[in-house]
A and B are shown apart, each in its own frame.
Chain A
């Protein structure tokens, strides 16, 4: 018996074939980026097969963007030359992080099933679809066949109740869940969020869904509501889907009720996204760098709220503040709204939209025993640089407040 909205979507995509616990399902959309596309390219070429539907594939150059070494330049070159040769219509070079571009474009809609060659593909579930990450070989299979094999997951219903206080963001909600249930707390499961009060913005929902994989989940999904509709209307100019997703009463293996009002700002301590404390418990911890960016924390609302604290102030001496808008569109909006200028005046360094520091790819790499407070999703040992460096994860509000203080502080102290 398939569980949850996820199970219903998988069931509707099934083509009738079954092996063991796995169902063969049709895929609506596939996301690829430079390094993970490059891994499968030799095998795709060798197969002599074509991509099943070029209109349903988004290719981004966002990891090595622009490339910082000859080897990476060659990887990007391969990806771009294949994509242009095959006339793939959705090739986005240096336009931002794939998970942001995927939800900015007119592709994902409620009820769809999308795959990506990156674990944070789960971000797209905020739009009410099933979106999950896979390795390059799995994606190669889907690119050629337009299908994949999925084991329908157990589903967990998470009701978010109450108003989100102004000092809290989506990041605090997901960190709280990860802290309470652990790194494997939702292994193989679907995390299905219901925001009855429609109190959580789409950018915050993206941050929440982005990090469900840190709890081991297969996908995270927000039940589509008015917030979803407004986002889709603003994005596409119209609502192309009927509101038929509002039907349904699903089975769940587990139910979690989460009252947002008493929640305090959260922080993940080194070296696990599930090693979570209240920010006030670690008040005063030393930091060298603050990074506001990534597919978790580089959206317009993230930059807007961070700027509210940074405007007219100065980043503490000895602290590097890096800000990376998640896409060129967000970057432009942030320029128009004056956020970028306020960040620069505060002493922040603005980097071009790309993955950059989050995966220790380029810029903002941490040196020996350096400490970074980051709005990204992973603080695994050595991920952002030297194995002895340390990464803390928080909301953009906590990050901005701490950049000004020069040490970790609770944003409520300055709001």
Chain B
């Protein structure tokens, strides 16, 4: 599975140091997909997002600040985000476990700090993986840091499980 050339989605804007307990409250821990997704909706309420919809037709792109996803390693947070329709995550910087887990479930991550100041909650943005630009609704665009080849390879396989399967075939 190749990575898409562009990702298009509605912005869910978040601040600095947003932890996984906020994104997905621990009381919502469950292996049930539907409940995982509900946990994200609850997180959205707790984080005070201006975007009130349960889901977006276009899918979501999170734009966060520093150290996004700090705290617990519980993968219910990123799996919940995937079933909630999050197609990509942009942040000034990522907490390491969270970043690995996003990639592992096949959600691309983009490091870009400047965008925070200009992007609006709920606006539609386009990320071009080919050119390395993130385009906002107006004419503004921002460059994101080049993705590490290892992470790119995992994403190209749709996540770490796909990457692992490919390894079996190669061995």
- The chain A residues found within 8 Å of chain B, CB to CB, are 19-22, 35-36, 38-39, 43, 47, 71, 75, 117-119, 133-138, 140-141, 144-145, 149, 151, 183-184, 187-188, 214, 216, 218, 272, 359-361, 378, 380-383, 387
Contacts and interface: CB of A to CB of B under 8 A. Distances in A.
A272 B27 contact: no
26 contacts: A19-B148, A20-B148, A21-B150, A22-B150, A36-B73, A38-B31, A47-B164, A75-B31, A118-B73, A119-B97, A134-B97, A135-B73, A135-B74, A135-B97, A137-B104, A137-B105, A137-B159, A137-B160, A138-B160, A145-B167, A149-B150, A187-B93, A216-B67, A216-B70, A378-B72, A382-B21
B129 to A, nearest CB: 16
Given A187-B95, A380-B22, A382-B25, A134 B73 contact: yes
A138 B46 contact: no
B75 A135 contact: yes
B4 interface: no
A200 B148 CA distance: 39
B85 interface: no
A184 B153 CA distance: 27
A272 B67 CA distance: 13
A381 B93 CA distance: 21
B149 interface: yes
B126 to A, nearest CB: 25
A218 B67 contact: no
Nearest to B19: A380
A186 to B, nearest CB: 10
Interface in B145-164: 148-153, 159-161, 163-164
Given A19-B149, A141-B160, A381-B22, A71 B30 contact: yes
Contacts of B72: 118-119, 359, 378
Contacts of B100: 134-135, 138
Interface in B80-133: 93, 95-98, 100-101, 104-105
B21 A383 contact: yes
Contacts of B98: 135
Contacts of B79: 39
B32 to A, nearest CB: 8
A380 B77 CA distance: 15
Contacts of B150: 19-22, 149
Nearest to B164: A141
A188 B26 contact: no
A413 to B, nearest CB: 32
Contact of A39 (B67, B71, B75): B75
